[in-house]
Structure 1
Amino acid sequence: MVDFKIVLSDPQSGRSYKIDATGAAAGAFVGKRIGEAIDGNVLGLNGYAVEITGGTDKTGIPARRDLPGSGRRRLLLSEGTGFHPVYDGERRRKSVRGSEISPDFVQINAIVKTYGEKPLAEYFEQPQEAAE
C-alpha cells in the first residue's frame, strides 16, 4: 500500500504539521490533482478541508501544477516550481512531475482551506509527561 508524508500548513498560525498517511488516508490522495480540496476527516481532522498545493516524489523531484498527468518529464524551464534562475534570461532543462498524485509520491504539501471546531494545535500537541 501507499504511504505519504503530508505537510499541512495552517495560514492562521503560520505553523506546519506533519501527518503520516497510510492505508485509506493515503488512498484518498491518489488520483487527486494539485489544487483539489480533500475532506479533512480522511486525516482525522473533523470539520476541516485541505487543499493540495504540491508534492515531491521519492527522488525529490517536485510536482508542477500546470503539467497534466502524473509522469516525470524533462522540461526547459525559465521560472517557477522546480527551477529558480540565478541570472536574467537563464533557462535550464529540469525534471518535474505532473500534477496528479500517484503512488510514486513521498511528500504531499497541503494547506487548510476550511477550519473545524477544534484548533489544529489540539490534534498535534504532544502529551507532556509529569516531571518527577
Structure 2
Amino acid sequence: MAKFKVVVSDKDGKSYQLEVETTALIGKRIGDEINGSTIGLDGYKLKITGGSDKCGFPMRHDIHGSMKMRVLLSKKPGYKPTDKGIRRRKSIRGNTISSDIVQVNTKVVESGEKPISELIGQE
C-alpha cells in the first residue's frame, strides 16, 4: 500500500494534513474529483489540485503521465521568475499520481455534515 500525505484545503481558508495509506489515489490526475470516504472524510467530495514527489519536485497539470521530466518553464507551478520573460529548465513531475508521489494537495468541492476538524479528531 502506498502512503500519502493528503493536504485538504477547506472553504474557510484552513488546511488539514492527513496521513493515508491507500492505493485508491494511484492513477488519479490533477483536476479529478475523489470521494472523501477514501481518506476518511465521509460526506466530502475533494478535487486534486497538485502535489509533490519524494524528492520535492512539484506536479504540473499540463505534463501528462507520472514521470519526472526537465522542461523549460516561464511561470508557476514549479518556477517563479523574478523578471518578465525569463525562462528556466526545471525538473517536475507529470499530472498523474503514482507510488513516487508523497504529498497530494486537494480542495473541498462539497462539504459533509460534520466539519473536517471533528472527523479527524483535531480541536
Task: Give the TM interval when normalised to the shorter protein.
Answer: over 0.9
Structure 2 segments unaligned to the other structure (5+ residues): none
Q: Percent identity?
A: 49
**Alignment match, 2:18:** 19
Query: SS state of the match for residue 94, structure 1?
Result: strand
Coordinate RMSD, CA, aligned: 1.1
TM-score (norm 2): 0.95
Distance 1:108 1:124 in 2: 17
Distance 2:8 2:29 in 1: 16
**Alignment match, 2:81:** 85
Is 1:6 matched up with 2:6?
A: yes
Deviations along 1:45-96, one digit per CA (max 9) or x if unpaired, are: 1111111000000010000011100000100111121001011111100001
Distance 1:44 1:59 in 2: 26
Distance 1:74 1:115 in 2: 38
| Aligned residues between the structures | 123
Please report how far the alpha carbon of residue 124 of structure 1 lies from its aligned counterpart in structure 2 after TM superposition.
3.0
Alignment of 1:110-125 (within 5 A): 110-125=106-121
What amino acid is aligned across from residue 18 of structure 2 in structure 1? I
TM-score (norm 1): 0.89
**Alignment match, 1:96:** 92
Is 1:47 matched up with 2:46?
A: no
Alignment of 1:23-42 (within 5 A): 26-42=22-38
Query: SS state of the match for residue 27, structure 1?
Result: coil
Structure 1 segments unaligned to the other structure (5+ residues): 128-132
Query: SS state of the match for residue 41, structure 1?
Result: helix
Runs of 4+ in 1 over 6 A off after TM superposition: none
- Larger helix proportion, structure 1 or 2? 1
